[in-house]
A = this chain, B = another copy of it.
Amino acid sequence: MRNENASRAATTAALMSAHPRATADPEARAAAATDRSGYVPATPPDVVVRCESAEDVVDALRLAHARGLPVVPRGAGTGLAAGASAHEGQVVVDVSRMNRILSIDPVEMIAVVEPGVLNADVNAAAAEHGLFYAPDPASTAICSIGGNIATNAGGMWCAKYGVTRESVLGLRVVLADGRVLRTGRTTIKGVTGYDLNALFIGSEGTLGIVIEATLRLRPRPVRTETLAAYFADVESAGRAASAITAARIQPSILELMDGPTLAAVDLAEGTRHRELGAAFLLAQTDGYGAHLELDEIARAVAPFAMSVHPAADDDEAAALVKARRDAIPSLEKLGRVSIGDIAVPRNRLADAFAGLEEISARTGVRIFSIAHAADGNLHPMIVVEPQESITEGPAKIALGEMFHLAQRLGGTLTGEHGVGLLKREWVAEELGEMSVELQRAIKAALDPAGILNPGKAI
């Protein structure tokens, strides 16, 4: 069997060897097998094509298409749902070296970028013009724009500015057969034809490979104000977050962390958040009236909080934001992490936290929880020992129960990380068989041979 695999891999590699960027180097193949989901395929992909240009991607897809080889698109490899995981028999088309910012128009507030550019690099370049790019996953420093588009990634600032879909005006995409399609436009509005742009955003590499994106930048706020509040328990923090929504206040950031996560951050970073409470809410407002809006937030959370701490200056604010950004890396020091991504109606946050505690107690898995609270998007993180599986046994059971919890509360399986490989089995349950069937028909219309990221997303 092992020999058979090896020879099959050699065949694939030979078929792709016409591509100057193709490599069958074992290290390259092993590195391209997995992402940050914690899932590790049993075998690596057969070949990796390290594209440096749009033409490289076109050529890779033409070759693969002609030979019927399955292709897994790959960017920075920071996905959390195994959407970029690749195994034996598959060709990885890696665009991480296509990482240039092609242009920034500071008047129109538009950036044109290649897919491999890191999210944080776009923001750094935008900042030079007093602008920012709103979708800011916690992984901003290491995730790339192509992957953000593939998963319709969110982040903290989505609370006010929307997800990736609201910040991508247009795309250039290589289709399965190597043809290049333009979607969207460079104007803010436009309704000529169907919204193919939105169709590609969040399609997890199953419809095409993005080679260029036109991003909408926004003016950096004239003023931001930040506070942290600590609570006796996570349900109180959830109720406080819902109270902010119910009070019709629009924070630019509203992040929640539970006690175990705070303890993990403290352990990793030497901070002392957990001493102040068993749950934490971070709120930021921006704009000309940011200070007035923050006062309203302080008023809304006070009845639920042990203490409320407005940041005295930018450094204090940055330290509070950093605590949230440190959550996932801190947990990764404790074991293998599987990150849930459910979303629920915004007034059901406390119910969701209570449900997660119940799941943890029943299944015996450790669950740490953070949430983009303004959007009702929770990341319950299952942490297992490094040698334990996250795709079988209790971790898998807990992941399924999380989905059913979200469903009971009127929510969804995935808010911003995507389905990938890890959540496929619940897709039909959420969408219905007919919707899945239609989505497969759309997939077939764009990729009749079915070579793009097979087995992922739908």
Contacts and interface: CB of A to CB of B under 8 A. Distances in A.
A192 B431 contact: yes
Interface string A144-181: 00000001101000100011011000000001000101
Contact of A165 (B195, B345, B458): B195
A438 B430 CA distance: 27
A203 B192 contact: no
Interface string A172-200: 00010001011101111111111110110
Contact of A189 (B191, B289, B376): B376
Contacts of A411: 185, 187
Most buried by B among A193, A412, A427, A435: A193
A374 B131 CA distance: 17
- Which range contains the number of A residues in contact with the other chain? 35 or more
Interface stretch (A44-52, A255-263, A302-310, A441-449): A441-449
B288 A439 contact: no
Closest 4 CB pairs of A and B: A288-B289, A219-B248, A289-B289, A198-B198
Given A179-B434, A181-B434, 10 more contacts: A152-B195, A166-B166, A181-B435, A182-B435, A187-B376, A188-B346, A198-B198, A289-B289, A438-B445, A442-B445
Interface of A: 107-109, 130-131, 151-152, 154, 158, 162-163, 165-166, 175, 179, 181-183, 185-196, 198-199, 201-203, 207, 219-220, 242, 245-246, 248-250, 287-290, 292-293, 343-347, 372, 374-377, 410-419, 423, 427, 430-432, 434-436, 438-439, 441-446, 457-458
